[in-house]
Amino acid sequence: MIWIVLHYLIVGACVLRILLRQHRDPSARAAWVLITLAVPVVGVLAYLLFGETSIGRRRLARLRRIEEMLPDAARFAADARGLGRLPRADALFRVGESISGFEPCPGNVAELMADSDATVDAIVADIDAATEHVHLLFYIWVEDNNGSKVAAALMRAAQRGVMCRAMVDDIGSRRLIRSALWTTMKSAGVQLASAYQVGNPLLRIFNGRIDLRNHRKIVVIDGRVTYCGSQNCADPAFVQKAKYAPWVDIMLRIEGPVVQQAQRVFAADWMEAVDEDLSALVAPKIAPIPNGWPAQVVATGPSVRASAMPEMFTSLIYAARDELVLTTPYYVPTEAIQQALCAAAYRGVKVTVIFPARNDSIFVGATSRSYYAGLLASGVSVREYLPGLLHSKTLVVDGEIALIGSANLDRRSFDLNYENNILLVDRKTCESIRQRQDTYIKDARRVTPEEVAAWSLPQRLWQNAVAMVGPIL
């Protein structure tokens, strides 16, 4: 009887904690309560391990000290007002500024990389031309052809006196960290670090969630060039999940004042993992490039306010007047994002969403398809990319506003991952991204309402059941 009473007290306390937890999405709250009541022992243990987005008190205190050491992000940008931007872009930039503190900065230019291999070749060329420092941060770095190319370039740069700092996620790049290449890079003078080290899992849970990840992809060279997009440091063949290959990514090579914002994001991440002050490298301002365009880094993560990334996506969707094209490999949206896409189509915006036909996560793939009926009913064009896993994360509004970076439209990107994106306003750059999106559309099949209506009962039951727990995936 004592054990039964204790069991119910523990379950009741867990449910009470779920109901009282601040900043909890109602759907996520409902999913956790359902799991805890349906399978109490598993549910309580799962909630203790994964139920709360906590980065730990010590880490939070360290991040606050780092923020005090680094130059104020709000002082980075020159005055970008009165540069002929769209009035609605000002509102979007204010949303971005409220998230990571960066004001929009004018005078930026970019080149869209042709493909993943061309991106790596360009990064290697920039590293070979570096004279001061090279900063790299990747969620996944693979010891394959492209990964080895970048490593070799770093070692060459380090040996000629360039300060090279390379950072990876402890889980995403665990194979590299354990490889001989990692040791060789360190011996060659490359400064290395891993983000959010897991260590002993049993002890790690007392210092924040074990599955918090740094999902960013940042390259900064000599404080004058940055790369932003979806690509990890790997071949398109992506040996970890080769059966879904090729992985199709997108990257921009950017010059201009926004590079300083990317530098600050990297510096904060590096200083969290390594006891080294990089504030001097962040301080120098970068002059705007003539005829460049305004841009802003939007960096999100568990230490930023709740729902920051969903607010950015929702704001962009509601800003659309004529056309909105979205690509993402993982679609597990908040209710607000799903409603915003449907509302855009209902008000006459030509909305196209492009997902991979085969997803490397069967749960995310099923959850994504559970939303198809609602999207199609509102007039959204749903496409499934066929040649490989479409990994690009892009959103283009009316051919003149774009968001590109590492964030997916799923709960992991919203709540658990540290992400890095750039919001920009420029017709020429947006045209390049739209042309790339059109190549995706050309190689994608259109999903029809009739096809969705014909899905079997077991298929629909599976999709909707998985979607119920989608908020906690």
Q: Indicate which residue of 25, 398, 415, 426 is catalytic.
A: 398
Mark whether 135 is an active-site residue: no
Q: Which residues pair with 111 in a beta bridge?
A: 253
d(CA 366, CA 241): 18
Q: Indicate which residue of 149, 215, 269, 426 is catalytic.
A: 215
Q: Indicate which residue of 133, 135, 149, 391 is catalytic.
A: 391
Is 150:281 a contact under the CB 8 Å cutoff?
no
Q: Indicate which residue of 393, 410, 415, 426 is catalytic.
A: 393
Mark whether 398 is an active-site residue: yes
d(CA 93, CA 310): 15
Closest CA to 420 of 197, 135, 210, 146: 135
Q: Indicate which residue of 115, 222, 277, 360 is catalytic.
A: 222
Closest CA to 425 of 83, 197, 180: 83
Q: How many CB atoms lie within 10 A of CB 53?
A: 19
Q: Which helix (H) or strand (E) holds 151?
A: helix 145-159
Q: Indicate which residue of 217, 249, 410, 426 is catalytic.
A: 217
d(CA 436, CA 225): 22
Q: What is the dihedral of CA 75, 78, 80, 82, to 10 degrees?
A: 120
Mark whether 133 is an active-site residue: no
Tokens 């996506």 correspond to: 313
Residues 6 or more apart whose Cβ sits within 8 Å of residue 32: 18, 43, 47, 51, 472
Residue type, 102: F
Please state whether beta strands 394-397 and 163-169 pair in parallel, antiparallel, or not at all (unpaired). unpaired
Mark whether 7 is an active-site residue: no
Q: Any idea which residues carry the catalytic annotation?
A: 215, 217, 222, 391, 393, 398
